[in-house]
A and B are shown apart, each in its own frame.
Chain A
Amino acid sequence: MGDHHHGPAKGLSRWLYTTNHKDIGTMYLWFSFAMFLLGGAFAMVIRAELFQPGMQLVEPGFFNQMTTLHGLVMVFGAIMPSFVGLANWLIPMMIGAPDMALPRMNNWSFWILPPAFLMLASTLLMEGGAPAFGWTFYAPLSTTYAPPSVTFFIFAIHILGVSSIMGSINIIATVMNMRAPGMTYMKMPLFVWTWLITAFLLVAVMPVLAGAVTMMLMDIHFGTSFFSAAGGGDPVLFQHIFWFFGHPEVYIIILPAFGVISQIIPAFSRKPLFGYASMVYATAAIAFLSFIVWAHHMYTVGMPVAGELFFMYATMLIAVPTGVKVFNWVTTMWRGAMTFETPMLFSIGFLVLFTIGGFTGLMLSIAPADFQYHDTYFVVAHFHYVMVAGAVFSMTAAIYFWLPKWTGRMYNETMGKVHFWVSFIGFNITFFPQHFVGLAGMPRRIPDYALQFADFNMMSSIGAFIYGASQLLFLYNVIAAIVAGEKVSDEKVWDGAEGLEWTLPSPPPYHTFETPPKIEEQPAH
């Protein structure tokens, strides 16, 4: 035994200096959960103000700060880091590697996140208030007409981008170089595949976002006019650049979620994933298409009709590989022997609600109809079905699924099931009626609304409070499991679970797979 066989250091320095993928994964997960609660608190302010028509609790300007920060914190603070945390924990254990390929960079890519969000949150206390231009920060509202705090927002985005790029490079390097002998690409678990593809998307588009905010910085402070027609620039250019980042970003969020679901549904169906290879190809196809559909977010900006048609057709095509995914999951369940523990419940919830989000996505792709949907609550409902019932439900399923492996302790199953049902019902009460108000003509991002939208908005707010409260139950269940959960003796935990991580003890030792495992002939996906 060499001296690298040590356990973790003691105290704070363990977390500050750690290069261990499990520690870093844990920090990412806790950080993202904290951000989830913060972003959720902003959402509660939004829903409380929208509970009734009229201005009640906050001023319109502050309301806009809430919608902006809610979006930014949830996308960049909660969902993205949570999946990076999952990748840190799982990818080395799934491919039989001792750690991530670039452990020091791993530490750095986590530790620059908290200061970035501290800076972003501090804008709330600044004169002129926090950014109030929406998470999509369209110029010139975010440049000429922005509060002074926009500069801090720009630097926060820069840091988040650096963090994401470093995290992605690490994942690519790990998957390409650290696989155990015999772990060929087509034997990798789908979660690893989806993350590999996601990491390439991130490396491709985060610099584009950095470019967009840098151009904003120049426009604001150095007299350039990238986004101002008065100086020869173009506000629509901003939207093209933003969505060239923004649309792949949507898949950056959802592809790892697909990976999670592709691990969990086979486990609880006790049956292999129906079409492993076609799932890999579908993921790659979605990633490719994500680069050529960005302007479907901009059907109303006045693009020429030829451009409009191109983006409409390309967007509709995404339904094909996405359909392949959904059909695969359903066929995997078919004639399995299913049980319905909490991870499976959340995965089925994902499957149903994400599919609904996919349908509304298809509706939104139809350009002439989008002239009626664009920037209404119909869009809000659509992307919450994809982001919350898609990404967040899958993340929740992942936590319940792997928590016993990570901690060696079981969560409370009954409480987990209650969490699922309360979340599922609360979510639908919140977001289903938003389809109705959107179609009926309610624009998004408004602090007050016409009277015909009152009933559904009140319903939506009640649902949001229920959904929000159910997350506290989740927090309690996780902490209770870590502190005093029933000990797990079995390495597999779930009898249908397949993959290298389930060959390790529960909890796994601080360092795992220092000697590469032997990969069996049959793929372990």
Chain B
Amino acid sequence: MLNARALAATALLPLAANAQNQVNMSTGVSEAGAVITDLGVEIYDLHMLIFWICVVIGLGVFGVMLYSIYAHRKSKGVEPSQFHEHTGVEIAWTIVPFFILIGMAVPATSTLLEVYDNDDAEMSILVTGYQWKWKYEYLDADGENVAFFSNLATSQEQIYNTDTKGENYLLEVDEPLVIPVDTKVRFLITANDVIHSWWVPEIAVKRDAIPGFINEAWTRVLAEGVYRGQCTELCGAYHGFMPVEVHVVSRDEFDDWMAAKKGAAAADAALAATELSVDELMARGEDVYNASCLACHGANGEGGLGNAIAGSAIAMGGLDSHLNVIVNGVAGTAMQAFGAQLSDVDVAAVTTYQRNAFGNNTGDVVQASDVVSYKEG
């Protein structure tokens, strides 16, 4: 056994020198030494407390065992003792662990009560899990909610090893969640299709996103910075490709960002009332396609988890049936109702793109007004 330990230790050495290989839970403290969240620090301390208790007990048990293996072997000519059963010892090793457990349960209970203290939040954000992206909706007292989707930003080329992987490979999104520093933020967490789980290790928030139910969680982040996480509940083929990216910024920056978001939403609405050129629609459509369609339908519309779009009877057939699939989804399949996820302009753009890209070349141009009139039926 000692041999195995020594060998394993040698195998670990070259890795231990590499600081990139984090071996423990996030401490809740940033590299600069600032506390990220009080709760994160508390959970880390609890984790280490239990860990060290286990280490001490383990050293005791394994120490006795190893000594016994060393000293009480037949090859040393020892005669086996025949003792068995000792009420005192047996009661002791039942009672003592019980008290150790009470010592663990006390701090665990107080930390858990804090995790569940969702009161007095200063702002609320509705987090919705979709296959395979997150939607963030800032709930506004005046009803002017700001909502957007947050998709994986890592390119397919990086994933399929034809391009160098970036520093934040698989942990980067096109539009991060932005929250103000030192503000108690309440997350309302749910899902649109299957169960997901929203997790950011450094701010110590993980809660399942369950379709039809709304869970609550909260955080108060004390250090500005970028924090990354991932979906942690198996949610289908691309479960590994729906990261969470949270930017914690100053109050002022947050207000500016929020104003810009509201402005952009208004601009989008204005855009929906105008006619766009084919080139504009195609460019916009390609972006939408890459963010929302590519994972299932392939980079060249060749299909995959979903049907092929190149040469497809739907993409090259009647416009209404094409819009029906995009806007309403296909029940019982992974094809979602994108009418609720994308703006009318984006639906128009991606429909135009699908009808003209990948050699489909139908020449059809779809405007936002077409989408609106389709939706109105």
Contact = CB atoms under 8 A, between A and B. Distances in A.
Given A229-B212, A300-B197, A445-B239, A429 B75 contact: no
B376 to A, nearest CB: 25
Interface string A401-445: 000000000000000000001001100110010001001110111
A440 B85 contact: no
Contacts of A327: 61, 93
A305 B168 contact: no
A141 B46 contact: no
B206 A320 contact: no
Please classify the interface of chain A as helix (H, G, I), strand (E, B), loop, or mixed, using the class held by over half of its residues: helix
Interface string B199-219: 101001111101111011000
Given A230-B212, A368-B46, A443-B232, A309 B112 contact: yes
A338 B21 contact: no
B80 interface: yes
Interface residues of A, number: 100
Contacts of A336: 68, 72, 80-81
Contacts of B170: 53, 448-450
A335 interface: yes
A333 B69 CA distance: 8
Interface size, B (range)? 35 or more
A368 B11 contact: no
B79 interface: yes
Interface stretch (B47-55, B176-184, B260-268): B47-55
Contact of A320 (B18, B101, B169): B101
Interface in B138-194: 158-161, 165, 167-171, 193-194
Contact of A443 (B18, B111, B213, B231): B231
B225 interface: no
A450 B169 contact: yes
A236 B22 contact: no
Contacts of B1: 348-349, 352, 424
Contacts of A339: 73-75
Interface stretch (B2-10, B275-283, B342-350): B2-10
A134 B43 CA distance: 29
Contact of B43 (A273, A348, A371): A371
A84 to B, nearest CB: 29
A424 B236 contact: no
Contacts of B238: 60
Interface of A: 53-56, 59-61, 64, 132-134, 138, 140-141, 144-145, 228-230, 234-236, 269-278, 300-302, 305, 308-309, 312-313, 316-317, 319-320, 323-324, 326-327, 330-340, 348-349, 351-352, 355-356, 359, 362-363, 366-369, 371-372, 374-376, 421, 424-425, 428-429, 432, 436, 439-441, 443-452, 455-456, 459
21 contacts: A53-B165, A54-B165, A55-B160, A64-B237, A132-B237, A144-B194, A145-B236, A228-B211, A230-B211, A302-B213, A312-B112, A319-B101, A335-B83, A336-B68, A337-B78, A338-B74, A367-B112, A374-B232, A440-B22, A441-B26, A443-B232
